[in-house]
Amino acid sequence: MTARDRFPHPPSDHGPAELRQHEYDVIVLGAGSTGENVASRARAGGLSVVVVEPELAGGECSYWACMPSKALLRPIESLTDARGLDGARQAVTGKVDVAATLSRRDAFTNGWDDSSQVEWLDSEQISLVRGQGRLSGVREVEVTGADGDRVTLRARHAVAVCVGSRNFPPPVDGLDAVGAWTSADATSVSDVPDRLTVIGGGVVGVEMATALSALGAEVTLLAIEHPLLPRMEPEVGPLVQTALEEAGVVVRTGAEVTSARREGGTVTVTVAGGDEYTADELLVGAGRRPRTGDIGLEVVGLEPGSALDTDDSMRVTGVDGGWLYAAGDCAGRAMLTHMGKYQARVCGDSIAARAAGGDEPTGAWQQLAATAHHRAVPQVVFSDPPAGSVGPTLQQAREAGLRVRAVDYDLGSVAGASLYADGYRGWARIVVDEDRRVLVGATFVGPGVAELVHAATVAVVGEVPVDRLWHAVPSYPTISEVWLKLLEAYGL
């Protein structure tokens, strides 16, 4: 039984049969955070909007990803912080309370009930149609409800595809037959298994290994990646791996899983070389792909299952008439909730501007462009300790042809960090474009660093010269003093 089976789809209270109109200015496929933002911005521009959603309004982030996963991880982080301080650690008498943690997680998902999201859509005067939407023609979407009833919706101006992404398991012999968990099963877990094997050394694998281990599972993490978190600077993975191992997680990097089998109540996986690992459950968190395989892309000459290429106004390229838009994971730019919402704001505003001013409006509209993906994508991995970054790594910047220099600093040497935790372990790096003398990237790993990432993002997006950035004086004693230390190490 999958996570979604345990939480049935909502009733078709806004299904195809109940529609009072079939034509709107804008049709949005997907009521996740991206789709909701497209709809809200288009509605604010004076357009009528309908959102089509087969599952819960609010989408993956609200019920299966960001919110429940971070709700599981936050008590672990808090307990680690307390245990890291003499005077506080003596007051800690137990482990994370599993029942209380799961109950708090449930509160953040509203018990997998989307009533509040539906109320918000109603308050914004955005229509919701429950069902599976497929492109069926130019500015046209056919919706099939849970009862099989069908209706065709038509858009006067635009259709926006915001269907997100899905888990994409690696090619492992026997994997389809073992009932492996997806990330949604891990974040909605009700009974923590005694033993769990995790495949994948990226964000999902690392975060869920952290969470389920702290909740009592014996966790083995198998990652073909080496080091862990390969999209970050290579110095990050070993620090996170050390912390996982100290927490009791068995970590193997460079481990290619070749087969899986279920025998009775256990799942056994085999890695290249012959080693086997047995557990009660298997979580596969090794990648995602756009959820575009069954939305009718072939009708408009696009490849089903592929990411949708867009211009910086989020209009899909290669579709005659310029009426099709895409935002979020299915656009393939950066599979992160905050980046999807950013694209959505640009997308909704662009649709409204074109509807008001013609196909190629001028003036202020020309400022509407989703350009953050080209140089400043921020991300936080809520491992224990957390890691955060923005912009390219040193190697990526060099491969892009930039003449760059990296400056590293031991975060444990910063006064604010030493006050934050006894024996603080952490690391920071800035990547400086030597020709322009501006930051193009930054990475932090250590307790409390998640809130450092946005300052780095502002510096990168604003192209603040390092000579000027030196005058942004950090408060003492805080972890943010690392900015001064990095710039001094640079030579200022």
**Integer Cα distance of 425 and 421 in angstroms:** 9
Structure confidence at residue 16 (pLDDT): 61
Structure confidence at residue 375 (pLDDT): 87
User: Is 385-490 assigned to CATH 3.30.390.30?
Assistant: yes
Domain limits, the chain: 3-58+114-166+289-373, 175-285, 385-490
Q: Is the pLDDT of residue 473 over 70?
A: yes
Residue 384, token pair as written in the block:
């224990």
- 425-449 pLDDT, tens digit per residue, is 999 999 999 999 999 999 999 999 9
Structure confidence at residue 35 (pLDDT): 98
- 153-212 pLDDT, tens digit per residue, is 999 999 999 999 999 999 999 999 999 999 999 999 999 999 999 999 999 999 999 999
Of the candidate CATH numbers 1.10.150.240, 3.50.50.60, 3.40.50.2020, 2.40.50.140, the domain formed by 3-58+114-166+289-373 belongs to: 3.50.50.60
- 68-90 pLDDT, tens digit per residue, is 999 999 999 999 999 999 999 99
- 350-406 pLDDT, tens digit per residue, is 999 999 985 554 445 456 789 999 889 999 999 999 999 999 999 999 999 999 999
- Do 3-58+114-166+289-373 and 175-285 fold alike per CATH? yes
Share of the chain above pLDDT 70, in %: 94
> Which superfamily, per CATH, for 175-285?
FAD/NAD(P)-binding domain (3.50.50.60)
Structure confidence at residue 357 (pLDDT): 82
Residue 488, token pair as written in the block:
């001094």
Q: CA angle, 115 as apex, 112 and 118 as ends, to 5°?
A: 120
Q: Is the pLDDT of residue 416 over 50?
A: yes
280 φ, ψ to 5°? Answer: -80, -35
- Total-model pTM: 0.94
Question: Once rounded to an integer, what is the mean pLDDT over residues 93-104?
Answer: 96
- 37-71 pLDDT, tens digit per residue, is 999 999 999 999 999 999 999 999 999 999 999 99
Q: Which residues pair with 53 in a beta bridge?
A: 130
For residue 399, give Cα distances in angstroms to 395, 404, 447: 6, 10, 31
